[in-house]
Amino acid sequence: MLRITCCAALIVIFTGGATIAQEACETKAISKDGKPLAGAAKTAFTKKCKANTCESKATGKDGKPLSGAAKSSFMAKCEKDA
């Protein structure tokens, strides 16, 4: 029973983290004059923001940065979820 509870808690935490990252990137999408970005500018900013957020999380179990196919796979999944 404890194992199921822990697994459910981890799923909620990781799912919530992706949602928070997406909301954070969209709230940061503001132009230099303080107006919200729209259209292609907002899309480009959000994509870059998500990539930067995922880049910092791309580490292996040993704490070293991922590289190669492992990094590509992680980044694709992270950006899709974010």
What are the domain boundaries of the chain? 2-81
Helix, strand, coil percent content, the chain, rounded in steps of 5: 70, 5, 25
Would you place residue 68 in the very low, low, confident or very high pLDDT band (cuts 50, 70, 90)? Answer: very high
Model confidence, pTM: 0.57
Q: Are 81 and 18 in contact, with CB atoms under 8 Å apart?
A: yes
Region 20-47 average pLDDT:
84
Position 2 scores a pLDDT of 62
Position 24 scores a pLDDT of 81
Region 50-59 average pLDDT:
87
Region 73-79 average pLDDT:
88
State percent of the chain over pLDDT 70: 71
